[in-house]
Amino acid sequence: MTDKAKLDVGGKTVELPLVVGSEKEVGIDISALRQATGAITLDYGYGNTGSCESAITFLDGEEGILRYRGYPIEDLAEKSSFLEVSYLLIYGELPTPQQMKDFNRNIARHSLLHEDMKNIFQAFPPDAHPMAILGSVVCALSTYYQHGDETHEEGLNQSIYRLMGKLPTIASFAYKKSIGQPYIYPRTDLDYCTNFFHQMFAVPTEPYPVHPDIARALDVLLILHADHEQNCSTSTVRLVGSSQANLFASISAGISALWGPLHGGANQAVLEMLEAIKAGGGDVKKYVAMAKDKNSSFRLMGFGHRVYKNFDPRAKIIKAHADRVLSLLGMDDPLIHIAHELEEAALKDDYFIQRKLYPNVDFYSGIIYRALGIPQNMFTVMFAIGRLPGWIAHWKEMNRSDKNRIGRPRQIYTGSTKREYNPIHKR
């Protein structure tokens, strides 16, 4: 393969260098395009545009491959823990036993919030969406730790420990606020996921035991959500961080991007779809037919993926855990029965098979969260907790790169050409 691409624009020919990744992905470096030809590229939604080089996550949508730092997601979900995966994403290598011990300890000791921050929670209305609270409070953390120097490793590590430790606490406080229960403080003697369940569902008057298999199911869910290359929220974190905004502000921006129903809110949309099918009589075949009807407004949520043109590798893993959790809990939920029927019908239907519309990670994650007692308005919050180490890793990678520039996309202007201004009394 040549190391240059030639492009002819209005009679002007420019040679653009090719960039080849470690997995043989090929990109055309168009950095000099506008200067050489006066033209820019136009790519709606950036579906064909690479904004950076990254060593964090490899994704092959055609083959259904997902790897963190070279490790297959299947191996990590089976053998690793969420905090070990977090360390891998953020620091580039799997930790030694001592590094893992220190990482766990530092995150646990930074899980408490400043007592004054409880006043922030009190200021929100009872029906405030947890994602609004999460984004606001994470941004507010920058006011409590405004003197940290994230340009040095020690200062950055402190911000990392604080975010990893405090995000589950912020999430659980948001939930407790919504139901009028006392806030439950974190416990450093519990593992990450067990502690989260404790903060979410315990009350001061009695203990709240958590089955290890339940905690493990959540741990795997968080691993599967930990990073997914240059998606909307991760790109937002990098774009905001490119201005040298601090890590707290950048993560808050990522939370806002994740909130959208086309991104982190997709698993909530799956449950809402299942409820609509139930309310409509539960006839799954009827709704499958509606999904295939171009004239119907009904959309089948949780099937297909913008990147994966094959089976979402995360969906295979999460399905097994969904079945295990439902069996353990002895759930007899009509929505879960509808989900199973829908999955079976779609996987046997040529319409979905030909279009490779397989169940994705959002289809199963909402079912598990529901079984675990997580309310629907907290689903996207759970996504944010899982995605946090990926956001941190990308912010760190970008800000430690000598190629980093402030993000500044171009545009094709389609508005009015030059017009003469008339004073208001002449209009």
Report the catalytic residues. 305, 362
Do the beta carbons of residue 134 and residue 171 sit within 8 Å? Answer: yes
Q: Which of 192, 248, 245 is nearest to 386 (CA)?
A: 192
Residues with Cβ < 8 Å from 341, sequence gap 6 or more? Answer: 284
In whole angstroms, give the CA distance from residue 77 to residue 222: 9
In whole angstroms, give the CA distance from residue 36 to residue 304: 40
Q: Is 63 left (phi over 0), alpha (psi -120 to 50) or beta?
A: alpha
- Going 111 to 117 to 122 to 127, the CA torsion angle's sign is negative
Q: Is 44 exposed, middle or buried (0-12, 13-18, 19+ CB in 10 A)?
A: exposed
In whole angstroms, give the CA distance from residue 369 to residue 376: 8
Do the beta carbons of residue 303 and residue 363 sit within 8 Å? Answer: yes
Residues with Cβ < 8 Å from 136, sequence gap 6 or more? Answer: 120, 124, 252
The residue behind tokens 């405004």 is 146
Q: Phi first, then psi: give them for residue 132, nearest 5 degrees.
A: -65, -40
Do the beta carbons of residue 395 and residue 250 sit within 8 Å? Answer: yes
